Structure 1
Amino acid sequence: MASFDSVLIGITQNLAPNGVEIALLEDKKLVELHNEKADANFAVGDLYLGKVKKLIPGLNAAFVDVGFEKDAFLHYTDLSPYARSILKFTQLAMNDKDENPFDFAKFQIEPEIIKTGKINEVLNGKPNVLVQILKEPIAAKGPRLSCELSLPGRFVVITPFNEIVAVSKKIHSSEERKRLHKIVEAIRPKNFGVIVRTAAEGKTTAELHQDLLDLTETWKHIQSNLKNALPPAKIMSEQDKTTSILRDLLNEDFNRIVINDKNIYNDTKSYIQRIAPDKEEIVTFYNNGSPVFDTYGITKQVKSAFGKTVNLPSGAYLIVEHTEALHVIDVNSGYKSVSNNQEENALQTNLEAAEEIARQLRLRDIGGIIVVDFIDMKLPDNKRKLQEAMEGFMKTDRAKHAVLPISKFGLMQITRQRMKPEVNINTSEVCPVCNGTGKVSSTLLLEDEIEKRLHYLITHGHKNLTLVVHPIVYSHLTKGFFTSIIKSWRRKYKTRLKVSANNNCHLIEFKFFDEHEEEIKF
């Protein structure tokens, strides 16, 4: 579980026509964006009854029909050592004639398969098999499957067909690890392995036992759903996105959950009452009329964060490019300058960029190989500082990842677990000047861009400036005699800023002129 110590976290949700949007905030900054469609299928964690369609000995893998347009992929290494037990259980559950599911505690576990075995030795005869979605369908690929079944709860994860108890390594106290291990060994149901999650630290036997009871009840539902099922069939869905995020992340640092749909509000309230009664008051219902994402500044953050160019507060910026094989991020200093020392400038810009890159990876859910071209630095100590900083910024990332040292070419390679398609939001809009024949960056950020350029000019000695904009933008900037944006800029930067309207300017075009009426080029 990600660690959010001393960090403000909020979740706001916006009911879209086709599902639920969820934004996760840290210190009012957007770090994760999720979209749960009403008809979502093949999500990570879903359980399906699949039919083995084709064995590929050369890949040591099988293609399994789970109802997707393309057969799903199951590699031998994802079979689980208990694959024969899963096959046996699948057949018994499908053919069970009793009204109630058979007692799983009396199920006889089959011998484990060997790690270096062959796929056709285990799935010979193309049987029906209970599988779990390991990766969602991405691009032209079908889902990736696993037979290493697991059911996550808030404090523990149960793994059927084994007797292993493991405790999260993120619990650093050896005494606490021993305590949890002893408790779980005493209450663990037969034929279930248990992984104790980081959130279990300090929890009582009663709390852990209740979590186990809830999960074993879920397993009984899986048995019931397998009865008389015909492949391909969905056997169990992972909890809805709202509940799963709360289950994985809810801790003492959460201070607000804002929901604008009454049904989701009631469901979430009930869930919080059950798992953390002391947190019930943080759930609030939003009905102010205006979109909840606009009220909390999320819409603006989405517009500024998902474009090809990502601007940083200092004036530096990132260029994010995507190819079929990998993602490439280029760091540019822009007009940032913190000192006359080039090496120090490069380090400070790179550190600022690293923090934003860590956020971008989470926000866009970028997976696979990421190559970052930082600004060149000569000192090995600075390169080491940058790598350590990047590792620190990515600590809160729940996806498995690895950060490699900067190469001799100044490139940093990052790998990040890819579980589902990347979040990709179009931040362009039809250009009003060329009637849709081209596209420009969203006008939502124009005011910020003008002020950023103004700040740069003021700090570089320009005092008497004239700003020329389109008449519509002119009206926006000068609206209100005492409260206009232009007047606030004059007070803030202590400058004699003039503004004029020019019909020859495009809607989002602006120009600065100095005291000699010469245009200042950027």
Structure 2
Amino acid sequence: MEYKYIITDINNKIFCCIYTSDNTCHYLKPLDSGSVVGNIYVGRVENVVKNINAAFIEIEDKQKCYYSIPDNKAPIFFNEKNNPAICQGDRILVKVITEPLKTKPAKVSSKIELTGNYSVVSNDVKGVHISKKIKSNETITEIKKRVADILIQKQQEAIEKTGYDYLSNFGIILRSGCADADIDDIIKDVNTLCDEYTDMLQKAVFSKFYTLVHKDRPGYIEEIVHLSGKDSVEIITDIPAIYNELETYLPHSSNISIRMYKDELWPLYKLYSIEKEIDTALSKKVWLKSGGYLIIEQTEALSVIDVNSGKNVAKAKSMEAIEASALKTNLEAADKLCQQIKVRNLSGIIIVDFINMNQRNCDILMEHLKSLAKKDIVNTTIVDITKLGLVEITRKKIGKSLSESLNKA
């Protein structure tokens, strides 16, 4: 698939948008320069709450973050301890994995990993692992062997830099982009990332509470690298500073092209009608070309989508014609609502009330929904259709929804 990744300024706010080859917008969000997601800190355990099996850890500016104890089996402590259990006052290395949202604090994890263009260094794996998306061959086997030798060397360097054997417990994952990359570029990426990782550990050992020991690269860079793993991505921006960041961080790949847009008479956001996409994504009512419409409501617990036939009312009186009309409207609604789910970045539980149909047409609709869900870059599952005819969808939470990002929730 071919993607266009647009980064543009609208009323002094930078937006990132993803368009497919048919010029359909599938992703839209403001660029948050103040995000702490991906940053790694030396945190202080402020409190351990046993009844929820969690701890609250303070990072910079004494911001409290939620830490799940069962989900973090190998915490990295920098203070002397008599037991492996997390305790109040511990000096612990954590990575921010989600932003604070409304009354919920940010979440942190002891899974410490740095992500490069072709590799990931993580304390959550041992040895060298290869992405499941890569088919094994002689070249990949040779790369894995060379990377394994580098890993042994870098683990020894980690011990020498920090003075602690346990800080050498990290491994390497080779990303899907390795399949088409030059071997020298992969080895360079692995070496650079391992050096960053060991330097980060060395800094953390001698740092005080709340210290930022690693700032992650911009989130949109990682999104582009992820997309380019198996698809071609053309990045277009009209912001010189963003263009320079793209040139600095992105790998030289045949799947990635970068273009600086210059046209004072016709701005980039107008060329792709981004303002219209934003207005539609913030609207409760979304029209379909057939005359039907969607009602999309986002609540604290779940999101609800209602499909209505609207002006698309079948004139024919036969049951077959009515069923055919309902199926046509529902299939069009499925395309639109899946697009809107992605643009709005809805997550968690999503309930859809389609127009009532017979079982045969319901099966056709469900298969169509499942095929659409597979195209989403965020993990999306079409669960089932209930006895009341409601379709259940779940979607992994990745960041804030569009309305939350724009403070319109």
TM range (shorter): 0.7 to 0.9
Question: In 2 relative to 1, CA 30–144 (structure 1 residues): closer, same or farther, beyond 3 Å?
Answer: same
Give matches, 1:472-487, under 5 Å.
none
Q: Kindly provide the amino acid, as one letter, of the partner of residue 355 in structure 2.
A: I
Secondary structure of the corresponding residue to residue 374 of structure 2: coil
Find the counterpart in structure 2 of residue 441 from structure 1: none
Aligned length: 382
Correspondent of 1:262 among 224, 227, 240: 240
1: distance between equivalents of 2:98 and 2:257? 35
Give matches, 1:211-250, under 5 Å.
211-226=189-204, 228-250=206-228
Deviation at 1:423, TM superposition (A): 0.9
Normalising by structure 1, report the TM-score: 0.67
Secondary structure of the corresponding residue to residue 288 of structure 1: coil
Whether the 8 Å contact between 2:121 and 2:197 is mirrored in structure 1 is no
Find the counterpart in structure 1 of residue 93 from structure 2: 130
Q: Kindly provide the amino acid, as one letter, of the partner of residue 286 in structure 1.
A: K
Deviation at 1:291, TM superposition (A): 3.3
Query: Is residue 324 of structure 1 aligned with residue 300 of structure 2?
Result: yes
2: distance between equivalents of 1:302 and 1:145? 31
Find the counterpart in structure 2 of residue 519 from structure 1: none
- What CA deviation, in whole Å up to 9, does each residue of 1:280-338 have, x standing for no partner? 75422334254321122211222223200111222121111122111111111222257
Deviation at 1:228, TM superposition (A): 4.1
Q: Kindly provide the amino acid, as one letter, of the partner of residue 47 in structure 2.
A: K
Whether the 8 Å contact between 1:384 and 1:405 is mirrored in structure 2 is no
2: distance between equivalents of 1:161 and 1:388? 36
Q: Kindly provide the amino acid, as one letter, of the partner of residue 269 in structure 1.
A: E
Secondary structure of the corresponding residue to residue 138 of structure 1: coil
Whether the 8 Å contact between 1:78 and 1:145 is mirrored in structure 2 is no
Whether the 8 Å contact between 1:48 and 1:236 is mirrored in structure 2 is yes
Q: Kindly provide the amino acid, as one letter, of the partner of residue 310 in structure 2.
A: G
Query: Is residue 334 of structure 1 aligned with residue 328 of structure 2?
Result: no
Question: In 2 relative to 1, CA 402–252 (structure 1 residues): closer, same or farther, beyond 3 Å?
Answer: closer
Question: In 2 relative to 1, CA 72–265 (structure 1 residues): closer, same or farther, beyond 3 Å?
Answer: same
Whether the 8 Å contact between 1:139 and 1:421 is mirrored in structure 2 is no
Find the counterpart in structure 2 of residue 54 from structure 1: 47
Find the counterpart in structure 1 of residue 384 from structure 2: 405
- What CA deviation, in whole Å up to 9, does each residue of 1:404-440 have, x standing for no partner? 121111111111111322111899xxxxxxxxxxxxx
Whether the 8 Å contact between 1:134 and 1:419 is mirrored in structure 2 is no
Give matches, 1:368-517, under 5 Å.
368-379=348-359, 381-424=360-403
Query: Is residue 285 of structure 1 aligned with residue 251 of structure 2?
Result: no
1: distance between equivalents of 2:141 and 2:366? 35
Find the counterpart in structure 1 of residue 106 from structure 2: 143
- Name the stretch that deviates more: 353-362 or 190-199: 190-199
2: distance between equivalents of 1:266 and 1:401? 34
Correspondent of 1:31 among 21, 26, 30: 26
Correspondent of 1:311 among 287, 295, 303: 287
Question: In 2 relative to 1, CA 408–167 (structure 1 residues): closer, same or farther, beyond 3 Å?
Answer: farther
Deviation at 1:142, TM superposition (A): 0.6
Query: Is residue 82 of structure 1 aligned with residue 74 of structure 2?
Result: yes
Q: Kindly provide the amino acid, as one letter, of the partner of residue 324 in structure 1.
A: E
Question: In 2 relative to 1, CA 302–411 (structure 1 residues): closer, same or farther, beyond 3 Å?
Answer: same
Correspondent of 1:355 among 332, 335, 360: 335
Deviation at 1:20, TM superposition (A): 2.9
Q: Kindly provide the amino acid, as one letter, of the partner of residue 122 in structure 1.
A: A
1: distance between equivalents of 2:67 and 2:176? 29
2: distance between equivalents of 1:161 and 1:11? 31
Question: In 2 relative to 1, CA 181–129 (structure 1 residues): closer, same or farther, beyond 3 Å?
Answer: farther
Secondary structure of the corresponding residue to residue 129 of structure 2: strand
Query: Is residue 276 of structure 1 aligned with residue 252 of structure 2?
Result: yes
Deviation at 1:269, TM superposition (A): 2.7
Query: Higher relative contact order at CA 8 Å, sep ≥6: structure 1 or structure 2?
Result: 2
1: distance between equivalents of 2:128 and 2:279? 46
Q: Kindly provide the amino acid, as one letter, of the partner of residue 23 in structure 2.
A: K
Find the counterpart in structure 1 of residue 3 from structure 2: 9
1: distance between equivalents of 2:276 and 2:9? 18
Gaps of 5+ in 2: 153-168
Whether the 8 Å contact between 2:181 and 2:253 is mirrored in structure 1 is no
Deviation at 1:263, TM superposition (A): 2.1
2: distance between equivalents of 1:345 and 1:49? 60
Find the counterpart in structure 1 of residue 147 from structure 2: 187
1: distance between equivalents of 2:3 and 2:306? 29
2: distance between equivalents of 1:202 and 1:12? 24
1: distance between equivalents of 2:256 and 2:228? 12
Deviation at 1:147, TM superposition (A): 0.8
Question: In 2 relative to 1, CA 179–371 (structure 1 residues): closer, same or farther, beyond 3 Å?
Answer: farther
Normalising by structure 2, report the TM-score: 0.84
Whether the 8 Å contact between 2:95 and 2:110 is mirrored in structure 1 is yes
1: distance between equivalents of 2:323 and 2:223? 41
Deviation at 1:55, TM superposition (A): 0.6
2: distance between equivalents of 1:334 and 1:68? 52
Q: Kindly provide the amino acid, as one letter, of the partner of residue 31 in structure 1.
A: H
Whether the 8 Å contact between 1:78 and 1:148 is mirrored in structure 2 is no
- Name the stretch that deviates more: 330-339 or 392-401: 330-339
Query: Is residue 72 of structure 1 aligned with residue 32 of structure 2?
Result: no
Whether the 8 Å contact between 1:306 and 1:426 is mirrored in structure 2 is no
Calculate the aligned-residue CA RMSD, in Å.
2.9
Deviation at 1:357, TM superposition (A): 1.8
2: distance between equivalents of 1:150 and 1:9? 27
Correspondent of 1:167 among 130, 149, 152: 130
Correspondent of 2:36 among 33, 37, 42: 42
Q: Kindly provide the amino acid, as one letter, of the partner of residue 146 in structure 1.
A: S
Give matches, 1:104-123, under 5 Å.
122-123=85-86
Whether the 8 Å contact between 1:155 and 1:199 is mirrored in structure 2 is yes
Question: In 2 relative to 1, CA 268–333 (structure 1 residues): closer, same or farther, beyond 3 Å?
Answer: same
Greater Rg over alpha carbons, structure: 1
Deviation at 1:372, TM superposition (A): 0.9
